[in-house]
């Protein structure tokens, strides 16, 4: 059984045309399909149909979609989720544009997750036969792919148990409040070899903190920052580095107020990676390694 990656992030936006400019012109994603009130976008180095869905009306997360490696995984996950006490429903081909049959569940954190195996293949912009390093007509940031998401939950421990016990994910890093009597404040979990695929921090139910695009390196992060200045993007913090994951980062907001991140770096993780632990007295350094303190926005603005 295996979940391979975050396949799509579906968010609400208040103003579709402003969102289109942000995700397409500034971030460089390509619009692959449009429906009334919905826009589907992919990054240049992604081969599946889409990785971001924008839906007009409001703000915040609609759902997260994760792709599994084998069709039979879906049935096994359906059983394992039920055994964990999570209600699961089947979703059919066509409920999501270009996505096949799958399962849908609401996590204990009240987020909607979808798991699927089939999604229409569009291919990357450089192809898979003698490809160039990157497409020369990149727009804006030219983000190659979507990377991870961070959501909030009242009970982080149960979310960590769900992903590690049901989906066999591992934990790269955790934040606890008191080593003598630990309560879990945050968990950074992975299903492949990237340092995290989903992180959960303590907070209100059902909220999105951010979703992130992976960029190549620190230079790309700095260049993204320049583009945010050119396009008047609201920047939360950065460029800087995370203590947790060691990634380099900028947090910023789309025009509706959904937080995005550009992220580069991190370290590879194997199934035997020994989890790193941070304590809350060092949380400032854990989140923003260089500044060593959290800004108010970072902890309070959620969508
Ligand atoms: Fe992140």
Please, how many CA atoms are within 13 Å of residue 169, restricted to the half-sphere of its CB? Answer: 29
Predicted confidence (pLDDT) at residue 1 exceeds the cutoff of 60: no
Q: What is the pLDDT of residues 231-262, one digit of tens each?
A: 999 999 999 999 999 999 999 999 999 999 99
Report how far ligand 1's centroid is from the alpha carbon of 261 (Å).
6
- Binned at pLDDT 50, 70 and 90, residue 151 comes out as very high
pTM: 0.97
Q: What is the pLDDT of residue 107?
A: 98
Q: Quick one: tokens of 167? A: 């989906």
Tens of pLDDT, residue by residue over 128-148, are: 999 999 999 999 999 999 999
Report the catalytic residues: 148, 196, 210, 242, 251, 261
Question: How far apart are the CA of 263 and the centre of ligand 1, in A?
Answer: 7
pLDDT recorded at residue 181: 87
Residue-by-residue DSSP string for 79-96: HHHHHHT--EEEE-TTSS
Average model confidence (pLDDT) for the chain? 97
**pLDDT, tens digit, 9 for 90 and up, residues 11-22:** 999 999 999 999
**How do residues 154-187 score in pLDDT, each as one tens digit?**
999 999 999 999 999 999 999 999 888 899 999 9
Contact 69, 118 (CB under 8 A): no
Ligand 1: centre distance to CA 213 (Å): 9
Phi and psi torsions of 231, nearest 5°: -100, 10
Rounded to the nearest whole angstrom, what is the distance from the C-alpha of residue 128 to the centroid of ligand 1?
29
């Amino acid at each position: 059984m295996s979940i391979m990656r975050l396949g799509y992030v579906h968010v609400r936006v208040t103003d579709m045309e402003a969102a289109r400019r942000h995700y397409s012109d500034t971030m460089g994603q390509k619009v692959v399909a449009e429906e009334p009130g919905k826009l589907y976008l992919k990054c240049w180095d992604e081969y599946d149909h889409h990785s971001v869905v924008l839906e007009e009306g409001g703000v915040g997360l609609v759902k997260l979609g994760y792709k599994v490696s084998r069709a039979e995984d879906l049935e096994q996950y359906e059983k394992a989720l039920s055994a964990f006490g999570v209600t699961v429903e089947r979703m059919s081909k066509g409920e999501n544009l270009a996505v096949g049959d799958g399962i849908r569940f609401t996590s204990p954190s009240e987020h909607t997750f979808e798991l699927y195996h089939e999604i229409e293949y569009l291919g990357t912009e450089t192809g898979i036969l003698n490809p160039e390093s990157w497409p020369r007509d990149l727009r804006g940031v030219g983000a190659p792919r979507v990377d991870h998401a961070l959501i909030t939950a009242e009970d982080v421990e149960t979310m960590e148990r769900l992903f590690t016990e049901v989906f066999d994910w591992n934990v790269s890093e955790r934040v606890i409040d008191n080593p003598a009597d630990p309560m879990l404040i945050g968990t950074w979990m992975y299903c492949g070899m990237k340092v995290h695929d989903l992180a959960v921090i303590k907070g209100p139910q059902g909220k999105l903190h951010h979703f992130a695009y992976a960029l190549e390196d620190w230079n790309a992060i700095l260049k993204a920052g320049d583009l945010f200045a050119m396009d008047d993007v609201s920047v939360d913090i950065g460029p800087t580095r995370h203590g947790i994951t060691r990634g380099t980062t900028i947090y910023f907001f789309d025009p509706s107020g959904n937080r995005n991140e550009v992220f580069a770096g991190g370290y590879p993780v194997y199934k035997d990676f020994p989890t790193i632990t941070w304590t809350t007295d060092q949380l400032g350094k854990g989140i923003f390694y260089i500044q060593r303190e959290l800004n108010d926005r970072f902890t309070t603005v959620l969508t």
